[in-house]
Structure 1
Amino acid sequence: MAQILRPSQKGLRKSLFTSIDIALSLLLLIPTTALADGNNNSSNDPPPQTTGTSGGSRGCETKSETSLSSIPALILLAPSQIYGQTLATRPTFAWFISNSASWQMEFRLYQYDPASKQSKLVKEIKDKNFKSSPGIMMLSLSSPELLVGGRYLWQVELVCDANRPSGNPFAIAAMKVVLKPDLNKRLSQTNNVLNKAILYNQADLWYNTLGIALISKDEPKLRELKISLLEQVANGSETGLQEQIKVELTKSSIHQLQR
C-alpha cells in the first residue's frame, strides 16, 4: 500500500524540494521483507519509501470551489513500494488529478546511486504552461535519455500557493530501467499493439504496459488491461478510499503532455 504523508511529516516538505540528499535519504527506510510479492526485486535492492498518493492537504481549494471529495488531489499511476520497471529510456509518466480547476504543476526526476546513496536532479519542469487538468495526465519526455540499469525517483507537485510550498500536495514514485534481450527479440517479431502490451505485462514492465493501455480506445482487451492496472493503483491507496478511487480512475479523461 502506498505510504500516505502524515501531517507530522510536513516539516520535511520544504527540505524535500530544496535538498536532494535529504529527499533521497528516505530511500533506505523500507525493509526488504515488504517486497515479498513476486515483483522480481532482490533482497539487496530495496525500493525507496514513496508516497504514490498525496497526503496532508486534499488539494488546492479556492473561494468559489471547495473540494468535497476525500480522494487525494494527486495519485501517481505507479506500483506501491516497488520499483516500477520499464524498457524505455524515454518513458512515459502518468498521474491522476482530482481537482477540477487548473493549477500550476512541477515535475522532477532524480537519478539515484545505491552505492553512494547519493542522487541528482536530472529533469525539472516548472514552466507557466505546465498546468493540471482533471483526470489522468500522461507526460512524455524528449530528454534526458535514461540509463539502462538506472534507478530513478519521479515526483509531481501541485502548486497551490507558491509562497507556502509546505502545503502543496505532492507524490513520489520509483522507476528502474531494465534490459531484457530475450523480450526485445520477441517484441521485434510483432507489430500488434495488444501482443506487445501482453508481453510487457507478463514481464512486469509497468510503465511500458501502462503507456499502451492508457491510450487504447477500440481494443476491448486493452481496455480490460487498462482497468486492471488502474485497479492496482487504487488498491495501493488508503483502504477506505479504494473503491471510490477505482471508480474515478476508470472513468477519467486522459490528457497527453510532451516536454
Structure 2
Amino acid sequence: MQIVSLLKKSFNNSLISYIALSLLLLMPATAVAGSNNNDDPPPQTTGTSGGSRGCESESVASSNSIPNIVLLAPTQSYGQTLANSPTFAWFVKDTSPWQMEFRLYEYDGTNKKSKLVKEIKDENFKSSPGIMVLSLPNLKLSVGSRYVWQVELVCDANRPSGNPFAIAAMKVVSVSPDLEKQLSQSNDILTKVNLYKKADLWYETLELALISKNEPSLQELRKSLLEQIATGTKIEQTEQITAALTNSKIHQLQR
C-alpha cells in the first residue's frame, strides 16, 4: 500500500500507469542472460503498449496488430548503460501526430520508493510514425542506480486511462578499466559499437547503431538489435514488428 500510494503521486494523470509500474517493481525477477547482475535481478517488462488500437480509428487499427508503442529496450531485464545522460528510443505505429509524455523514475529497492527524475509533456513533444530517438544531454543519472522509463501517447486528455503506454527498466553501470582503455584507444565507430555490445551495454550499442547511415556493418547490427526487440514481443506479432521496426524512419528528438 505504501508503494501504491507513492506511485499515485507520480502517475496522477493515469491510473493504469501507476498500477503497471507498481506491479513492474514487485514482479518476480528474471536473470539477464550473459550479464553479471544476478545479485541485482531486474523487474519484468514487456516494453510494448497493451492492445494495438492506439489513438487511431478502430478501422485503421484493426488492420494492424502491431502494438502502438514498442520501446527499443530489453524486455524482462535491465538495459545497461555507462552514460549519465543515455539516449532513449521507441517505435510509434500511429501515422497521425499525437501528444507524447516521457517519464523517467529512479527506484530505490532499499526503501521501496520511486522518484520522478525527468518528465516531458510539452505541447511540442509529439509523435511521428517510426522510431523516435530522444537525447537528454542535461540528464545526470547515477552509477549503480536503477531506473524505469515510460512513454505514453495522449489520445484523450480527458480519459488518460485509455492512453497507450509502455515501460522499460535500465541500470547505470561503471566502466571497467579494460573497456575504458580500449574505448580511449579507438576512434572507429564500428570498433566502439562492438566493444559496447560485448560488454552488454545496450543503450550505447543501440545509439551508435541508430545513427549509422552508410556503414553496412552498423546497418546489419541495427537490424539484429531490432529483431531482438521483436523477438521479445508476442510470438504471433514477431514477424510484423520486425518488418515495422527495420523499415521505420528514424526521428531525432532533443530536450
Please tell me whether residue 66 in structure 1 is matched to residue 64 in structure 2.
Answer: no
Q: Is the 8 A contact 2:79 2:203 kept in 1?
A: yes
The answer to whether the 8 A contact 1:73-1:97 is kept is yes
> Which position in structure 2 is the counterpart of 1:131?
126
Distance 1:35 1:71 in 2: 27
CA contact (8 A) 2:47 2:167 kept: yes
Residue 208 (structure 2) aligned to one of 197, 203, 212: 212
Letter in structure 2 aligned against 1:223? Q
* Residue in 1 that maps onto 2:25: 27
Decide which of 102, 116, 119 is 2:114's aligned counterpart: 119
Quick one: distance in 1 between partners of 2:141 and 2:32?
Answer: 27
Aligned residues: 242
After superposition, the CA RMSD in angstroms is 2.0
CA contact (8 A) 1:15 1:23 kept: no
> Which residue does 2:234 correspond to in 1?
238
Deviates more, 1:165-174 or 1:138-147: 138-147
Residue 111 of structure 1: SS of its match in structure 2?
Answer: strand
Deviation at 1:41, TM superposition (A): 2.2
Aligned to 1:97: 92
Partners of 1:100 and 1:150 in 2: CA distance: 36
Aligned identity (percent) is 63
* Gap regions ≥5 residues in structure 1: 1-12
Letter in 1 for 2:143: V
Residue of structure 2 in register with 1:153 after alignment: 148
With over 3 angstroms needed to count, the CA separation of the structure-2 counterparts of 1:242 and 1:57, relative to structure 1, is: closer
Q: Given the alignment of the two structures, is residue 180 of structure 1 paired with residue 178 of structure 2, yes or no?
A: no
Distance 1:201 1:58 in 2: 34
Q: Structure 1 length normalisation: TM-score? A: 0.88
CA displacement 1:78-99 (0-9 Å, x = unmatched): 0011000001110000000111
Q: Point out where structure 2 has 5 or more consecutive residues left out of the alignment.
A: 1-12
